[in-house]
Structure 1
Amino acid sequence: GRNFPFLFLNRQSVGTRRSLFLDDEFAIGLLVDHLVEMGHKKIYNIAGRSDMETGKRRQGAFKKAITEAGLTFSPDLIVEEEYSALGGARGFQEIMKRKPKPTALVVSEFNMAVGALNAARKAKVIVPDDLSMVAFNNLEFASLLNPTLTTVGLQLQHLGEEGFNLLVDRPTNEEIYQTVSRSAELFLRESSKSIRK
């Protein structure tokens, strides 16, 4: 049969398949930079577990972004949890026990952010007045939450163009080929706010 070229979009492949996926470092950097520009300095991270590839990668991206913003990084700024709403809720509860209190949270996965928002509501922490919150992954549901959630996500049109060009430039499936995409965009919504007076 004919050997049609293909690649994975926004998923890292295993073995000899090619993939094009979001650059976690760039995306997390967009979130941290956004918060820093609004005056936040006490920024914490609800992250996936470091024994998972994505968790480890995004934790590293958070640490780098905090350091490059001129803030002091400490391991206490990160709470590891599972990628789920329950994990996000537990992460929020743990972070709110820490000192100094955060003014902003970077949540490394969308479902975790939903759980963190719910936990904040139950704890009577008002987002964004008391605490700004931003999240990795821009799902349509983000604009339906209360408050609506500031996220970073894929520019799907640009990702599709990059994928097409990759297939044209590399028309066979024989070689191992992976690349990262910087087709990330910040989607500003209600959950993040400046703390400058």
Structure 2
Amino acid sequence: MVVTVYDVAQATGLSIASVSRALNARPGVSAATSARVMRTAADLGYRPNEVARSLVAKKTQTLALLVPDITNPFFPELVKGVQSVADESDQLLLLLDAPSEPDRLAQRLAALHRKQVDGVILVASELPAATGDVFDGMPGVFLDRAGSGGAPSVHVDQEHAAYLATRHVIQKGHSRIAHIQGPVNLTVSALRRSGWERACNEAGIASGDNRVFPGDFLEAGGHRAMERILDAADGTTAVFAANDLSAIGALACCASRGIRVPHDMSIIGFDGIELARYTSPALTTVAQPIRELGEQACALLLRRIAGEPADDIVLEASISHGGTVREWSGRADESSGGV
């Protein structure tokens, strides 16, 4: 049986108006009366009607998080960060797929607006050049992507992080570094390639199209790209993969070909997913602070909902040393460990 305000009023002998004021911590009832109402409500098992409360407050305490590929291990770690802050703030978090097609994405955001969610965090694969108000009038935050459409973002400088990864390999003595690229239609792929190019150009190392091999941010794409790199037999000694899943596919390809990593080939990834710690050897990668990205995005969205100022937040990436990059002296040997 559902216990109502009427039931609490009957049990206490008070008016419904007095009970409602006590339950909602509004003035007009004494502290003693309020305490009696709260005790009685708890004894009866009364639960407030959140729908009714949301109609009065014009807030549903519901947030939406849209991500492009929940099967990618990067995104569950991101979700954990968002969820932790949502839980602390007593917010319900809805997790939805972010369609890659702009029209479908707009339809999904419009549906969330109709459902009266308080705000949206969006990890979009790609957005059209002229986006306008992407969030359809709702408070919104872009996550893991630079913002647009007047909304702030929480992200890592993708180009600079890729530069750090490539420079790390160069500092280990490698001068023939291939790049396994992400999907060519994504801005994030272009930014990571740009960082690789900048580090190579700065060191006077070749970075032309013949050093770039197409991938798809998945293990299979990384495996195929690594096959092409090995088949080219052009003296490549190191590979910068545009994400960790691509790097893991490249590792598997090397193992199947009898190529020893890092003795014969060094590989560095991008993201810092938990899975990278458990490859053999453990993957060296430029790690994004994944959980912190999610936490900061949710906190930023809550500030936007409250009407507070909200600016972009750019976090730092760092090299996570595994065992797939080693010093290169111009020959393969057994003496050097990975870093």
* TM-score (structure 1 length as normaliser): 0.84
> Which blocks of at least 5 consecutive residues in structure 2 are unaligned?
1-57, 60-117, 120-138, 331-339
60, 69, 72: which one pairs with 2:203?
A: 69
Say whether the 8 Å CA contact 2:227–2:253 is kept in structure 1: yes
231, 240, 243: which one pairs with 1:109?
A: 243
Deviations 1:94-151 (A, max 9, x none): 1112252211000001111111111110000000000000001101111111010001
Q: How far did 1:15 drift? A: 3.8
Structure number with greater Rg is 2
Say whether the 8 Å CA contact 2:166–2:196 is kept in structure 1: yes
1:114-133 alignment runs, 5 A limit: 114-133=248-267
**Amino acid of the structure 2 residue aligned with 1:7:** V
Farther off after superposition, 156-165 or 91-100? 156-165
**Amino acid of the structure 2 residue aligned with 1:131:** M
Q: How far did 1:40 drift? A: 0.5
**Amino acid of the structure 1 residue aligned with 2:328:** I
The Cα RMSD (Å) is: 3.0
Say whether the 8 Å CA contact 1:6–1:173 is kept in structure 2: no
1:41-56 alignment runs, 5 A limit: 41-56=175-190
Q: How far did 1:166 drift? A: 9.4
Aligned counterparts of 1:157 and 1:34: Cα–Cα separation in 2:
24
Instruction: Give the % identical residues.
Output: 25
1:35-46 alignment runs, 5 A limit: 35-46=169-180
Quick check: 1:23 aligned with 2:157?
yes
Say whether the 8 Å CA contact 1:44–1:105 is kept in structure 2: yes
* TM-score (structure 2 length as normaliser): 0.51
Q: How far did 1:61 drift? A: 2.0
314, 327, 330: which one pairs with 1:194?
A: 327
Which structure has more relative contact order (CA 8 Å, sep 6+)? It is 1
The size of the alignment, in residue pairs, is 195
**Amino acid of the structure 1 residue aligned with 2:268:** V
Pick the structure with more helix per residue. Answer: 2
Q: How far did 1:160 drift? A: 7.1
Partner-residue secondary structure (3-state), 2:239? strand
Q: Which residue number corresponds to residue 185 of structure 1?
A: 318
218, 229, 234: which one pairs with 1:84?
A: 218
> Which blocks of at least 5 consecutive residues in structure 1 are unaligned?
none
Q: Which residue number corresponds to residue 135 of structure 1?
A: 269
Aligned counterparts of 2:254 and 2:265: Cα–Cα separation in 1:
9
**Amino acid of the structure 1 residue aligned with 2:325:** S
